[in-house]
Amino acid sequence: MRKMSSSRDIQSLIEQLKNIILNKPLLTIEKVKSPKLDRIQEMVTYLGQCLTESNEFLQKLSIGNLEAKMPNRYNFLASGLKEIHAGLRHLSWQATQVAKGDYKQRVKFLGDFSTAFNSMIEQLEEREKRLKDKTVALEQSRNLLISIINGIEEWIVVIDKVEKKVIYSNQAVRCLGCDVKNNRNFCGYTCGVIEKLIDKMSKDENDVIELECEYNAKIVEAKAYPIEWNEVAACAYLIRDITNHKREQAEMENAVFKDELTGVYNRRYCMKLLGELQQEHKGFSVCFIDLDGLKYVNDNFGHHIGDRYIKFVAKEFFEHTGDSDQLCRIGGDEFIVLFPNCTPKKIRGKLAELYEKILHKDTEYPMSISYGLIYICKDNQLLPQEILAKADKKMYHWKKRKKNRRMI
């Protein structure tokens, strides 16, 4: 009977060892009855506990859990794992120091990994050095650029796209007494130039914008350049004072397109307008005006009186036509009035009033006009000179009828 019990105890211990070797769950076995097997059972149980504890610790290390509970200090199987754990904790601390900029850290206890890790630290150190050198160079370039910008005559204003406020202005703007932060602009008044720039910025950044200050009649031209300013999305405006340029341009246009005597447009501009109206493919009216008896006035009263006659008629038509209507002097005693988007029916009454006013003007010399009014349809194919000829013909018929009535 005692032999059978010992045989069962041995078999149980063998099964327990087999589970330990195969990494299976340990069996719950009764305490052996044989004193000779009791010590062996204790050793097998201790071995199983050490192996189980070591496996659990290894699994946590494998997923990077360095805060896992350490195996029992008497666990002879875990000594290697404890060394690896200590090495990994130290490596983690070294990585943290490297992240803070301490590139003197080196790993000496992980073989090939140490070589790769140390090489990575050296490369990071070299890259940071190059980055610092570039940062210094960029800062120097920025300072040089600011110096250049402050030295140019053009005004430069940088506006934050998100905050919609000025974040930089160069010396040229500040020399004008312009406090851009408080939106006191180039003339020293709050004239809305900055607001207009901000409004235009959201619509089309690549436009060249013309703005006029209502206080000092200055005209400025602003060219937009999308940039990043101190890591802020912004728009830089290069602003030039073009007041003199616009004045010169207007003077040149006056010389080319204005009649010197009356100040109204001349024949050249009349032909240009007719071409533009033709391209719009919209109907318009044309009135051809001829001053009656100008030669008689020049011959009998002098050319200065004739000039007065011409200027009076021009003044009356200029003051009594609409903003969109255009008056042109195309010859010595000939005028053209262009009425865009207007039919003769709407104009005849006004022309009749002007005719009567000029005819009955109390002067030392006779004044009268003849005119011909025509309508040009939107789909016509006439050339500008053909339109003038057609209106001239209409005017001539009316002049002829007036002469015939006087002869009767």
How confident is the model at residue 205, as a pLDDT? 58
Confidence of residue 342 (pLDDT cuts 50, 70, 90): confident
Averaged pLDDT, 303-327: 92
- 405/350: higher pLDDT: 350
The reported pLDDT for the residue numbered 6 is 65
Q: What is the mean pLDDT of the chain?
A: 82
Going by pLDDT thresholds of 50, 70 and 90, the confidence category of residue 3 is low
What's the pLDDT score for residue 206? 62
Given a cut of 90, whether residue 390 has pLDDT beyond it is: yes
**Mean pLDDT throughout 145-152?**
74
Mean of pLDDT values over 103-122: 83
Least confident of 75-79, 85-89, 191-195, 334-338: 191-195
pLDDT score of 299: 94
Specify the higher pLDDT residue, 187 or 287.
Answer: 287
Order the strands of the 155-160 sheet from edge to edge.
166-169, 155-160, 232-241, 219-229, 208-212
- The reported pLDDT for the residue numbered 388 is 94
Q: What is the pLDDT of residue 1?
A: 44
The predicted structure's pLDDT at residue 192: 62
Residue 330 has pLDDT above 90, yes or no: yes
Give the bridge partners for 237, in sequence order.
157, 224
pLDDT surpassing 70 at residue 246: yes
Q: Considering the domain 258-407 in this protein, what is its CATH number?
A: 3.30.70.270
pLDDT above 90 as % of the chain: 24
Q: What is the pLDDT of residue 55?
A: 85
The model's pLDDT over 88-97, given as tens digits with 9 standing for 90+, comes to 888 888 888 8
- Indicate the domain borders of the chain: 2-93, 152-243, 258-407
Higher model confidence: residue 173 or residue 285? 285
pLDDT exceeds cutoff 90 at 403: no
pLDDT of amino acid 71: 86
The CATH homologous superfamily for domain 152-243 is PAS domain (3.30.450.20)
Considering 138-147, 212-221, 246-255, the range whose residues carry the highest mean pLDDT is: 246-255
**Better-predicted residue by pLDDT, 150 or 90:** 90
Comparing 169 with 331, the larger pLDDT belongs to 331
- Judge whether residue 211 has pLDDT over 90: no
What integer is the mean pLDDT of 190-199? 67
Q: Residues 10-16: what's their mean pLDDT?
A: 69
Cross-sheet strand order for the sheet of 334-340: 265-266, 326-329, 334-340, 284-291, 369-376
Task: Choose between 286 and 20: higher pLDDT.
Answer: 286
Confidence of residue 370 (pLDDT cuts 50, 70, 90): very high
